[in-house]
Structure 1
Amino acid sequence: MSQEWVLRGERVVTDTGVRPAAVVVRDGKVAAVVGPSEVPSGPPVTDVGTKVIMPGVVDSHAHINEPGRTEWEGFETATRAAAAGGITTVVDMPLNSIPATTSLQALQVKAAAAEGHCTIDYGFWGGVIPGNVGELEAMIDAGVTGFKCFLIQSGVDEFPHVTREDLERAMPVLARRGVPLIVHAEMTDAEGPPQGDTRTYQSYLASRPRQWEDDAIRMMVELCRKHRGPVHIVHLSSSDALGTVAAAKAEGLPFTVETCPHYLTFDAEHIPDGATWFKCAPPIRESENREKLWTGLARGDIDMVVSDHSPCTPALKHLEHGDFGKAWGGIASLQFSLPAVWTGMRARGHGLEQLVRWMCEAPARLTGLAGQKGSLTPGADADLLVFDPEAPFTPEASGVLHRHKLTPYSGRPLVGVVERTWVRGQEVHTRGAPAPGPTGRWIRRPGTARPVK
């Protein structure tokens, strides 16, 4: 039986701009986007007035850590927090779970852990590590979104970093199958712990200079040019690399870049000594660097903004000593990515269309889901948000839905509240109401995954 309903409002972010419109939903899909006076008679209509209707956010970079390190996060808590933050599709990184997602068997273990526990739709990145080239085709057939690698120590033993020689073997496979290689782009021969007083943030910042990113990105441009497969740089922190990125794009290479809410929100000058909950890799840099990242985003050098949600247990942040040398590097942000980015956008004069471009449409393209996720195009999944872009709020620990409450966004005033979230036409979040049961599905990469027998 066909199920049809309508979501109507004065500010709908459509492919042709922000305008009064109504989204007609039929059987979990966007059936049409029509004018307010063209709503079909019969189906129920929800009118949200001046609140914004927009596509659900696609977050292509999150560490959910299950199985193996579920005490760090987990599919149930991560996806519930994501729904509250307006994210309707999340793609899980191949680490820090145990086993790491570097073989078909490990992928099957990961998928089994997720099934039946996710509030929103989800996908999986595979991993490229030394010696696993023989596993890549099988994981592509099974539906991974693409593959991640590290050019520097990852922080966990299960996911060793690769050399250029490793990539020369793996990249032809990925290029032939048309799936992206996503790269943690830091590279050095001189890695070591912070020097001096390791309670100071400046000691940590000095230990991971911009040049590590800049050199790694230059190498990946060379490899992209040689192998002609899509390459994507994750969590860009160094604004000094933007010229290299712009030149690669001008050359027509399939080269894309993301940055993250924390690099666009915080700055090194205002991170207190001992505040290890701000530690991430690459590090949050200076305010002038942050503003150049915003400029690169507006110019199109940076394609998208995704969370890099990378939580851990509070004990691993070494809060009692505030030691940046010993603390785990990663920021918990899944629930607050959308309002954090929107807060920064408003302050710099960017609008709702850019928000959808950077947080919905571009990550959908990266993951092969353009036309299915991240837009209100007829035929797309009815992943919808009601968003109040003028509403201020301040995150507090009591409202954090991640497994652990520690996040640098606590106590920071933000603007933009997600009122309601739908995935494939099913409501998965209503502000102030209990979350419904999990209904999320594994979304395999279209065009490369083989039919599941």
Structure 2
Amino acid sequence: MNKPFDVVIKNGTVVLADCVRRLDIGIRDGKIAALGENLTVSELTAIYDAEHLHVMPGMVDAHVHFNEPALGHWEGFATGSASLAAGGCTTYIDMPLNGVPPTVRLSALASKLEAAEGASYVDYALWGGLVPGNVGQLQGLAEAGVVGFKAFMSCPGGEGEDIFAEVDDLTLYEGMKEIARLGKVLALHAESEAIVSRLAAQAKTEGRRGALDYVATRPILAELEAVNRALFYAEQTGCKLHFVHISSAEAVQVITEAKARGMDVTVETCPHYLALTSADLERLGPLAKCAPPLRSAEDQERLWAKVAEGALNIIASDHSPCPTTMKQGDMFEAWGGISCAQSSLELMLDEGHLRRGIPLTEIARMLSLEPAKRFGLHPRKGEITLGADADLALVDLNLAYTLEQSDLLYRHKHSPYIGKTFGCRVKATYVRGAKVYEIGEEVTAKAEGSWVRHADTALVYSAIAAASAIGGESHE
């Protein structure tokens, strides 16, 4: 006789990998132990009635910047992860570059882990970094459990001795050889530094410093050049690639063609490229500045067409926060990053599903399943299936609301989406069977998120092997 369920999510409309069904979810020891109709519960079982709610797999946000150690006053693990919990995200992968020191060697990884311990409300994994001079550090970082490595092909900015510098071509090539040997993935910010730096210098010299002037200095051409160059090196080295925050349909098409040639490459875009345009950058100013920049409405429609075709693997926030004072003033000098982690799932459900009819299974694939698979967190993460962690986002697709500044849980409460009306809202979020967020209660009192290392994927979950995605145990 199995012990009772710890929690049962009853009467919800559950988004599975291949269909949407009304089911109960039985949770035991943090795992999904049963999927079925009318699960039997005991007096010891906590029940959440999800009538009229859709139960999504928790988002796996593969691209956030929480800036610790040392820059937690921009955004730290506590406020960043609380924001994600409020947005239905249950696992994130933190980028290596904005901490001091950046995560490009084992000692820096240890500092980041120390900062995250006991501070995160949801589970997390970590990226390592590839920069000039650290190719010899990659093996140690891989063995320690990073999911892969991040590199910039354009200058990420920053000052001082211990900055995260862009890769030169030889570092990119040598790094790819080592990352291929290690069996890891290289994530790339793909913009040509030669193009964007020259165009920016010319614009500044000529006194062109407006929003559209900034956009013009980072053209789609710069993205295409970098993508093609990286694909060439990957063909020579056999390195697995992941292109982050791709902003154009043209670049998606080049990557799609590389996949068709047999290359191991994936592509990510962000909600802001699908929800905002260069006209919004003119309206909002530096608040909506990012790199690559927001594109025209016509470019955005072409990108949506690629989403509809299923050409995008992953959608991630690229949450890049900073103090509000750094998002003011000159367009070229202001910090280039958008605070958006709390809104990613709601944006994609609103803009993608409610407005454009993208199926919920597709939304879940891009936000949860594919990032978990690509970065070694599946089958533990990314899918509502037997044996997986009970990471769930409970969403009301009929609860419209207008985002107010007071709704945001970021350390610095700025966002280009303040004042936007969403057609849906996250009602509650569960991580490993524990409720970490609910409207009206905010986040739980204690932060109990844990580090999910890539090596965990060597585990075999017998429940997954033994049962179909729906069925198995259906009663106590």
Q: Aligning the two structures, in what range does the TM-score lie when normalised by the shorter sequence?
A: over 0.9
Aligned residue identity for 1:327: A
Does residue 161 in structure 1 map to residue 166 in structure 2?
A: yes
Aligned to 2:366: 358
Deviations 1:142-171 (A, max 9, x none): 111100000111112410111221122111
Aligned residue identity for 1:431: I
- The 8 Å contact of residues 5 and 44 in structure 1, kept in 2 or not, is answered as yes
Return the alpha-carbon distance in structure 1 between the equivalents of residues 280 and 428 of structure 2.
33
Aligned to 1:414: 422
Tell me which protein shows more helix as a share of its residues.
2
Aligned to 1:177: 182
Structure 1 unpaired stretches of 5+: none
Shift of 1:299: 1.8
Identity within the alignment, %: 39
1:322-361 alignment runs, 5 A limit: 322-345=329-352, 346-361=354-369
Aligned to 2:474: none
The 3-state SS of whatever aligns with 1:219 is helix
Shift of 1:22: 1.1
Does residue 233 in structure 1 map to residue 243 in structure 2?
A: yes
Return the alpha-carbon distance in structure 2 between the equivalents of residues 200 and 257 of structure 1.
30
Aligned to 2:470: none
- The 8 Å contact of residues 58 and 364 in structure 1, kept in 2 or not, is answered as yes
1:142-153 alignment runs, 5 A limit: 142-153=144-155
1:86-101 alignment runs, 5 A limit: 86-101=88-103
Change in Cα spacing, 1:425 to 1:198, as seen in structure 2 (3 Å) is farther
- The 8 Å contact of residues 144 and 449 in structure 1, kept in 2 or not, is answered as no
The 3-state SS of whatever aligns with 1:375 is coil
Return the alpha-carbon distance in structure 2 between the equivalents of residues 18 and 274 of structure 1.
38
Return the alpha-carbon distance in structure 2 between the equivalents of residues 76 and 10 of structure 1.
30
- The 8 Å contact of residues 58 and 382 in structure 2, kept in 1 or not, is answered as yes
Change in Cα spacing, 1:163 to 1:383, as seen in structure 2 (3 Å) is same
The 3-state SS of whatever aligns with 2:69 is coil
Q: 1:445 aligns with which of 426, 451, 454?
A: 454
Aligned residue identity for 2:401: F
- The 8 Å contact of residues 280 and 329 in structure 1, kept in 2 or not, is answered as yes
1:222-261 alignment runs, 5 A limit: 222-261=232-271
Aligned residues: 445
Structure 2 unpaired stretches of 5+: 460-476
Change in Cα spacing, 1:11 to 1:140, as seen in structure 2 (3 Å) is same
Change in Cα spacing, 1:124 to 1:211, as seen in structure 2 (3 Å) is same
The 3-state SS of whatever aligns with 1:32 is strand
Shift of 1:219: 1.1
Aligned to 2:136: 134
Change in Cα spacing, 1:133 to 1:271, as seen in structure 2 (3 Å) is closer
The 3-state SS of whatever aligns with 2:100 is coil
Shift of 1:228: 1.9
- The 8 Å contact of residues 85 and 437 in structure 2, kept in 1 or not, is answered as yes
Shift of 1:449: 9.3
Return the alpha-carbon distance in structure 2 between the equivalents of residues 92 and 5 of structure 1.
29
Q: 1:377 aligns with which of 385, 398, 417?
A: 385
- The 8 Å contact of residues 183 and 232 in structure 1, kept in 2 or not, is answered as yes
- The 8 Å contact of residues 230 and 255 in structure 1, kept in 2 or not, is answered as yes
Does residue 431 in structure 1 map to residue 436 in structure 2?
A: no
Q: Which consecutive segments of 4 or more residues in structure 1 shift more than 3 A? A: 193-199, 447-450
Shift of 1:15: 3.0
The 3-state SS of whatever aligns with 1:336 is helix
Q: 1:78 aligns with which of 77, 80, 104?
A: 80
Shift of 1:32: 2.2
Which moved further from structure 2: 197-206 or 147-156? 197-206
TM-score (norm 1): 0.94
Shift of 1:2: 6.7
The 3-state SS of whatever aligns with 1:23 is strand
- The 8 Å contact of residues 198 and 325 in structure 1, kept in 2 or not, is answered as no
1:207-218 alignment runs, 5 A limit: 207-218=217-228
Return the alpha-carbon distance in structure 2 between the equivalents of residues 188 and 67 of structure 1.
27
Shift of 1:423: 0.4
Return the alpha-carbon distance in structure 2 between the equivalents of residues 327 and 17 of structure 1.
44
The 3-state SS of whatever aligns with 1:217 is helix
1:192-203 alignment runs, 5 A limit: 192-193=200-201, 194-195=203-204, 196=206, 200-203=210-213
Which moved further from structure 2: 220-229 or 195-204? 195-204
Aligned residue identity for 2:173: E
Does residue 310 in structure 1 map to residue 320 in structure 2?
A: yes
Aligned to 1:40: 40
Return the alpha-carbon distance in structure 2 between the equivalents of residues 163 and 26 of structure 1.
50
Return the alpha-carbon distance in structure 2 between the equivalents of residues 201 and 54 of structure 1.
37
1:49-68 alignment runs, 5 A limit: 49-68=51-70
Kindly report the root-mean-square deviation, in angstroms, between the aligned alpha carbons of the 2 structures. 1.8
Return the alpha-carbon distance in structure 1 between the equivalents of residues 264 and 342 of structure 2.
30
- The 8 Å contact of residues 13 and 19 in structure 1, kept in 2 or not, is answered as yes
- The 8 Å contact of residues 120 and 450 in structure 2, kept in 1 or not, is answered as yes
Return the alpha-carbon distance in structure 1 between the equivalents of residues 284 and 94 of structure 2.
29
